Amino acid sequence: MSRFFHAGSDSESESESSDDGVVDVRPAGLTRAQLQFSDDEEETKRVVRSEKDKRFDELKGIIKVLKNHKKIKDMANVLTDFESLTRAFDKARKVVDREGLPRFYIRTLADLEDFVNECWEDKEWRKNISKGNSKGLSTVRQKIKKYNRDFEDQLKAYRETPDAGDEDVDDEEEAKPAEESDDEVPVKPVVKKEEKAPKAPKVLTGDDDDDSDWGSESSEESSSSEDEARGVSHWTAEYFLKSTTEQEAQRREERKLEKRLRKEEKEGKRKGEEEDDDDEEGWQKVNSGAPSQAITEKPKLFAKDQEITLDAVVKKLNEIIIMRGKKGTDRSMMIELLQELKTIAEGADLGKPLSVKICFNIMAAIYDYNPNIATCMKPEMWEKSSLPTIQELLDTLVENPDIQVSESISEDNELLDKGGPYKIRGCILTMVERLDEEFTKMLQACDAHSTEFVERLKDEQAMCEIIVKLESYLEKNGTNEEMCRIYLRHIEHLYYKFDPTAFETAAPEHPDKTSQALMDRMCKFIYAKDNTDRLRTRAMLCHIYHHALHDRWYQARDLMVMSNLQDNIQYSDVSTQILYNRTLVQLGLCGFRQGHIRDAHNALVDIQSSNRAKELLAQGLVPQRQHERSPEQEKIEKRRLLPYHKHINLELLECVYLVSAMLIEIPFMAAHELELRKRLISKNFHHVLKMSERQTLTGPPESMREHVVAASKAMKNGDWKKCCNFIINEKMNAKVWDLFYQADKVRDMISAKIQEESLRTFLFRYSAMYDSLSLDSLATMFEISPRLVHATISKMIINEELMASLDEPTQIVVMHRTEPTRLQSLALQLSEKVGSLVDNNERIMEIKQGNFFFNKSNVSGHRPDQRDNYQNQNQQGWGGRGRQQRNQNRGDRGGGSSRWRRYRGGDRDHRGGDRDHRGGDRDHRGGDRDHRGGDRDHRGGDRDHRGGDRDNYRNRDQRERY
């Protein structure tokens, strides 16, 4: 039976009618005309909807899901829903253009933008969300800003006059009549006798006050069942059409109003209950979920009438310490109890030793508050608890020298009574070291470009004061090991800081208090007194870094070379290896500033060649191509990163490396341009050049790399002015050179080095074009002094890089014509390649022919030994003497070009003769092989024969040469 016949299948109407005493009226016989639609549409419900309703319902459905995801702050799904919403709006573009922009869509965009901005401002929540939610939040923030630009006017108008009492999409859907929902019962037949439209069933909303509405709902359903019974005879096509009347719209508005009133009543009741609870004493509001701090009773330290004595305070202190580490212990409450106990002890005037002991326990409780090593201390706890407590503890120890603090003192041997020397168990050095580590973690957790980082960095001065104060205390009461540890802490806060007074020529007022004097004193103490290699290694690296930072090149270089750290650094821990990389980089920068280009390049090449300078210097993580890091490994590597104020500018580092490589590599390339196997000094520099050569269109340089590449090409052509303009200009000054101290001095040094290396490149490349060159003309061309030109050319002649001689009276460089021209060099390369190809060809032929290929009789009468001797002589004459002669001709620097050609011609004739003899030799091989088993008595005659052959060949060679 069709499910449209509700009179027989509606269980709800049956139960309700039976409860009210109404007899169920079932339809009697139905005619064929009345059932004409039941066979065709037995299992389907046909709802006729306009395109506007379809599109808008789709948008409302997406908005409903979006709101659910907003409630739980699932930003990844919020991003997905927003993208779906924009796509659905694009589909409904025709309807929107025709009907107008719907108000609910503008409201959704405005609410979403406000929600995203609110989430973005909540920094505490952003720190704890997952990686996917963080990415979704940043993406949807960018997209919603960009998308809302198209609706600026509508959003502005909406924000000025927002809808009064806007209802959620869920409420609108709940208020829809039953005929608009696909999951609810179909519309009852329209009764023409009565104008009253069928009442839509109420949808349950889940509110507590909905129980009061059940009676009205049952009465409505009973009346609808009566109408259904009366209107069964009118089941026609009109039954399946959608009913939209003014009464339905009015009824929908009434439902919205009723629901709003119920919500307001609920809120009023809740506010009244809260006010009543506030008036009652002894009650405290508790949030739902796990037991909160309010449930845990705060233990009372002392009774009102109890006497505050030393023993009572110590006993209460031990009770609080016993709670440490137990499950369910509130750590923050423990800190508060210890601080309150300290206040009580100070109020009772129980002595400084007891305050020192309580301060040690307060610091231990603060460090225990955050059990996770990866996370840092809260700023509030740092400012209000840890930093003041340490400062107070240090002041007390310095002012009271009779208080002894040591880890070797056991708790039973502690002396807190008045009148003695006091002994307390504890280590102030460990507390300060842990505080310094927490300070570093707080700097790592802050955003480097935020005001929070700047505010937190201001506390470094207080941290340094604590370290200096502890130094003065340990110098009187500490051991050498403790002194080395605190000195290293002071060095690590000092070594990377630039001191402009180090460059002043005038003597300082207090020479013992300068940064250089402090570093020397502390580092030398560690060199002499430390028993562990780690502290000595770190102190030495910091010392070298400080020397290099202040342009003390020779001290830094000598200390690095004498320490031999480069041989054993791979066995050190990771933090020491990072410090070594930083020191090596700073040493290279110092060498560059002082004009030691080759030393600077050698120091920087290991860091820059791997393209992982950012990771090697612990300034960030580089994504790995081959494998991904696990979450634990990523946390460990993030923990090693340095705070931002210790970073070295990576762009400056790369620019210094590329400029150093350019000044070394370009003259070397010009000197060895015609070599087959080119040796690379800097692979990274060659890679940058190749990448620029592959570009089809090269415009004016913009980035730092492009400037260096353009300067390299200009230097290769000997144009030093163009090269200098590419390296030193406004862009490069702003990006790189202005970051140096005394930047003008560095720019002058670079310009001088470019002039000198351009001169070398010019001589290497164009010396074959000149018979002689004037030193004055070279000095004018490159705008350098004649003395520097003389020194540069003299070095090139001494190092045998340039085949020339200096004529002192005339100040002229005379070129020696021993170097082959470019065409001659290419011809030599071709002849060598062809010679090697012929040798390989003959070897392959001999292997292929074998011993049985030429099976001829011994016509010439040569013996096998004679044939072997003949072949060896022939090969020696062609391959040995000929090559020796060629090498001799090339190495003869005093000969002329005509002599060189004559010897080359003799070599060719000699080769031709040798090839003829080889041909004859092949003809005799078959016969020689047959005579291998001959008499050994004839060997003596063969030896005589060989001697005659040698004389004949020697005479013939001499005739061919001359």
User: What digits encode the pLDDT tens for the residues 443-463?
Assistant: 998 888 889 899 999 999 999
Higher-confidence position of 592 and 300: 592
Cβ burial of 676 (10 Å; 0-12, 13-18, 19+) is exposed
Dist. CA 706–CA 718, nearest whole Å: 19
Residue 744 belongs to a domain: yes
Dist. CA 346–CA 356, nearest whole Å: 11
Give the residue from 381, 391, 403 showing the smallest Cα distance to 432: 391
Domain edge (last residue) among 815, 837, 852 = 815
- Element containing residue 947 per DSSP (H, E): helix 939-961
Residue 502 belongs to a domain: no
Instruction: Provide the pairing of β-strand 403-406 with 422-425.
Output: parallel
Q: By three-state DSSP, how is residue 839 classified?
A: helix
Number of residues assigned to the chain: 962
Q: 467 and 486 in contact (C-beta within 8 Å)?
A: yes
Res 598: pLDDT: 92
Residue 352 confidence class, pLDDT cut points 50, 70, 90:
confident
Dist. CA 397–CA 428, nearest whole Å: 9
Strand order of the sheet with strand 812-815?
A: 772-774, 812-815, 804-807
State which amino acid sits at residue 786: P
Share of the chain above pLDDT 90, in %: 25
Neighbours of 310 (CB within 10 A): 16
Q: 193 and 216 in contact (C-beta within 8 Å)?
A: no
Phi first, then psi: give them for residue 392, nearest 5 degrees: -65, -40
What is the maximum alpha-carbon separation in the chain? Answer: 147
Whether pLDDT at 14 is above 80 = no
DSSP E strand boundaries for 386-484 = 403-406, 422-425
Question: Which tokens hold the place of 394?
Answer: 């240090």
State which amino acid sits at residue 909: D
Share of the chain above pLDDT 70, in %: 70
Please report where in the chains the tokens 């005619």 appear, as a residue: 31
Res 505: pLDDT: 73
Mean per-residue pLDDT for 392-408? 89
Dist. CA 147–CA 86, nearest whole Å: 9
Q: 369 and 331 in contact (C-beta within 8 Å)?
A: yes
> How wide is the angle at C-alpha 107 spanned by C-alphas 105 and 111, nearest 5°?
120
Task: Mark out the alpha helices in 530-630 (DSSP H runs).
Answer: 533-549, 553-563, 565-568, 574-593, 597-609, 613-616
Dist. CA 486–CA 489, nearest whole Å: 5
> Per-residue pLDDT tens for 207-223?
444 444 444 444 444 44
Res 858: pLDDT: 42
Higher-confidence position of 104 and 49: 104
> Per-residue pLDDT tens for 46-88?
667 788 888 888 889 999 999 999 888 889 899 999 999 999 9
- Element containing residue 804 per DSSP (H, E): strand 804-807
Pick from 278-287, 359-368, 578-587, 724-733 the range whose average pLDDT is largest: 578-587
DSSP result, 285-354: ---SSS--TTTS----SS-TT----HHHHHHHHHHHHHTTT-TT--HHHHHHHHHHHHHHHHHTT--HHH
Q: 24 and 14 in contact (C-beta within 8 Å)?
A: yes
> How wide is the angle at C-alpha 379 spanned by C-alphas 378 and 380, nearest 5°?
90
Calculate Rg over the CA atoms of the chain. 48
- Element containing residue 813 per DSSP (H, E): strand 812-815
Dist. CA 170–CA 692, nearest whole Å: 60
Dist. CA 192–CA 227, nearest whole Å: 11
Question: Which tokens hold the place of 862?
Answer: 């040569």
Residues 6 or more apart whose CB falls under 8 angstroms from that of 669 comprise: 678, 716
Whether pLDDT at 506 is above 60 = yes
Phi first, then psi: give them for residue 50, nearest 5 degrees: -80, 165
572 vs 577, 582, 637, CA distance in Å? 6, 15, 16
Residue 275 confidence class, pLDDT cut points 50, 70, 90:
low
Residue 854 belongs to a domain: no
Q: How many domains does the chain have?
A: 3
Whether pLDDT at 510 is above 90 = no
Res 752: pLDDT: 92
> Per-residue pLDDT tens for 644-679?
999 999 999 999 999 999 999 888 888 877 666 667
> Per-residue pLDDT tens for 767-824?
878 888 888 888 888 888 889 989 989 988 898 888 888 888 888 888 886 666 678 7
Average pLDDT, the chain: 75
DSSP result, 729-793: SHHHHHHTGGGSTTHHHHHHHHHHHHHHHHHHHHHHHHGGG-SEEEHHHHHHHHT--HHHHHHHH
Point out the least confidently predicted range of 15-24, 129-138, 300-309, 948-957. Answer: 15-24
Give the residue from 765, 762, 665 showing the smallest Cα distance to 708: 665
- Per the DSSP assignment, residues forming a β-bridge with 903 are none
Neighbours of 926 (CB within 10 A): 17
The per-type count for the chain, helices as H runs and strands as E runs, is: 42, 5
Question: What range defines the domain where residue 687 resides?
Answer: 649-815
Instruction: Provide the pairing of β-strand 812-815 with 422-425.
Output: unpaired
Dist. CA 234–CA 169, nearest whole Å: 36
Dist. CA 495–CA 250, nearest whole Å: 80
Q: How far apart are the first and last CA of the chain?
A: 125
Res 261: pLDDT: 80
Question: Which tokens hold the place of 233?
Answer: 């005879």
Dist. CA 397–CA 701, nearest whole Å: 63
Res 45: pLDDT: 55
Res 692: pLDDT: 84
> Per-residue pLDDT tens for 574-588?
999 999 999 999 999
8-state DSSP, 386:
I
Point out the least confidently predicted range of 484-493, 508-517, 582-591. Answer: 508-517
Question: Which tokens hold the place of 358?
Answer: 């309580």
CA atoms within 13 Å, Cβ hemisphere of 467: 24
Whether pLDDT at 287 is above 80 = no
Cβ burial of 912 (10 Å; 0-12, 13-18, 19+) is exposed
Q: 604 and 588 in contact (C-beta within 8 Å)?
A: yes
| 3-state SS string for 854-909 | CCCCCCCCCCHHHHHHHHHHHHHHHHHHHHHHHHHHHHCCCCCHHHHHHHHHHHHH
Residue 59 belongs to a domain: yes
Higher-confidence position of 349 and 13: 349
- Element containing residue 639 per DSSP (H, E): helix 631-640
8-state DSSP, 415:
B
Dist. CA 442–CA 453, nearest whole Å: 9
Q: By three-state DSSP, how is residue 111 classified?
A: helix
Point out the least confidently predicted range of 125-134, 135-144, 243-252, 327-336. Answer: 243-252
Phi first, then psi: give them for residue 61, nearest 5 degrees: -65, -40
- Per the DSSP assignment, residues forming a β-bridge with 405 are 424
Res 418: pLDDT: 67
- Domain CATH number, residue 779: 1.10.10.10
Residue 370 belongs to a domain: yes
Give the residue from 453, 824, 366, 811 showing the smallest Cα distance to 644: 453
Residue 433 confidence class, pLDDT cut points 50, 70, 90:
very high
Residue 431 belongs to a domain: yes
Whether pLDDT at 895 is above 70 = no
Q: What is the dihedral of CA 69, 74, 80, 81, to 10 degrees?
A: 10
Question: Which tokens hold the place of 183?
Answer: 């999951």
- Element containing residue 807 per DSSP (H, E): strand 804-807
- Element containing residue 815 per DSSP (H, E): strand 812-815
Domain edge (last residue) among 478, 502, 518 = 478
Domain edge (last residue) among 132, 160, 188 = 160
Residue 833 belongs to a domain: no
Phi first, then psi: give them for residue 601, nearest 5 degrees: -65, -40
Point out the least confidently predicted range of 350-354, 497-501, 665-669, 932-936. Answer: 932-936
pTM for this entry: 0.59
Mean per-residue pLDDT for 510-516? 82
Residue 609 belongs to a domain: no
